[in-house]
């Protein structure tokens, strides 16, 4: 095995580990701060780093200010992908086990298939429908024994699944726009605009009096902003340049790492329900991925760009 192969494998594993850690980091964060405050600070910090690099450190000519049409597109994308999706996701994690949050995120490619088929008026194939059913069944199976636990509630699961629907729709919107801006600039502006749109809700309903800026909060928000949103994205963009299909295969490891983190850091139980549910989701992802390999696929390549 060559050095380049080992390097690519290492980056793939690093991406899976970082991406799977988001749910546990969020779970720690909401212990010290209301979800809306955690989300807003994360968005502004990630936007500051990305835009600071593009306009400050890099200064490359490709990093320009958006034009009027691009501002509209970035605003729509930021509202869907950051304000609504990540805002709901962070709020849902207050009422949901960390492992379930990681497992739910892994179903995004399956929902993207459904929404892309609807928007381009193409009937989903039988394997695509079967993969979606498997993925949703896996989440239901893994969630069932946790509903009697205080760490997971029906409200949390409902909000979590709503956030998955919204991010899948946002991903399809992203794919339909002919972007001319670089990926880092798109993500820097959309996460910043999403934070601006969320700010009035945070001020009105953020429960500022219960905010504790302790070490747990700052470790959480720094990890989510820098490790997940910045380093994780850099790893993903690198893998995409090598091979889109092979890059998406690293998503299969995310549920496994997610449940491991939840067990290791938050003492969440790993049961046969957990194992069987995870296997159903991974099988659904595998079937859906094989189906997408047979056609030109841009949806998988933008799945993580929307995070």
The answer on pLDDT for 143 being more than 50 is yes
pLDDT of residue 300: 47
pLDDT band for position 189 (50/70/90)? very high
Choice between 148 and 31, residue whose per-residue pLDDT is larger: 31
Choice between 122 and 279, residue whose per-residue pLDDT is larger: 279
pLDDT band for position 289 (50/70/90)? low
92-121 residue pLDDT tens: 998 888 888 888 877 776 677 676 666 666
Is-above-0.85 flag for pTM?
Answer: no
CA–CA gap between residue 15 and residue 231 (Å, rounded): 8
CA–CA gap between residue 259 and residue 105 (Å, rounded): 12
Q: What separation in angstroms does the CA of 29 have from each of 99, 122, 282?
A: 15, 41, 28
Provide, rounded to the nearest whole percent, the portion of the chain with pLDDT above 90. Answer: 35
**Average pLDDT score over residue span 16-45:** 93
CB-count exposure of residue 2 (10 Å: 0-12, 13-18, 19+): exposed
CB-count exposure of residue 49 (10 Å: 0-12, 13-18, 19+): middle
The answer on pLDDT for 306 being more than 70 is no
**Average pLDDT, rounded, for the chain:** 83
229-254 residue pLDDT tens: 888 878 877 886 776 556 666 777 78
pLDDT of residue 293: 55
pLDDT of residue 76: 96
pLDDT of residue 302: 46
């Amino acid at each position: 095995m060559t050095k380049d192969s080992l390097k690519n494998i290492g980056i793939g594993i690093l991406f899976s580990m970082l991406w799977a850690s988001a749910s546990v980091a969020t779970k720690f964060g909401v212990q010290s701060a209301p979800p809306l405050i955690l989300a807003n600070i994360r968005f502004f910090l990630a936007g500051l780093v990305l835009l600071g690099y593009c306009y400050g450190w890099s200064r490359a000519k490709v990093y320009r200010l958006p034009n009027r049409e691009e501002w509209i597109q970035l605003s729509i994308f930021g509202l869907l992908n950051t304000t609504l999706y990540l805002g709901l996701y962070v709020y849902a994690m207050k009422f949901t086990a960390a492992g379930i949050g990681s497992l739910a995120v892994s179903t995004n490619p399956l929902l993207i298939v459904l929404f892309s088929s609807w928007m381009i008026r193409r009937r989903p194939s039988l394997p695509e429908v079967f993969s979606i059913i498997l993925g949703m069944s896996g989440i239901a199976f893994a969630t069932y024994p946790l509903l009697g636990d205080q760490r997971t509630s029906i409200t949390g699961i409902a909000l979590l699944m709503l956030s998955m629907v919204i991010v899948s729709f946002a991903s399809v919107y992203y794919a339909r726009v002919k972007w001319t801006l670089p990926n880092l600039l798109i993500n820097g502006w959309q996460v910043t605009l999403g934070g601006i749109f969320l700010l009035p809700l945070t001020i009105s309903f953020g429960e500022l009096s219960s905010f504790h800026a302790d070490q747990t909060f700052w470790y959480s928000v720094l990890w989510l902003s820098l490790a997940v949103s910045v380093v994780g994205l850099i790893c993903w963009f690198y893998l995409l340049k090598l091979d889109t299909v092979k890059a998406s295969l690293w998503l299969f490891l995310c549920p496994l790492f997610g449940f491991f983190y939840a067990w290791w850091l938050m003492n969440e139980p790993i049961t046969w329900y957990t194992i069987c549910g995870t296997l159903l989701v991974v099988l659904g992802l595998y079937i859906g991925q094989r189906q997408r390999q047979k056609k030109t696929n841009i949806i998988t390549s933008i799945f993580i760009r929307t995070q």
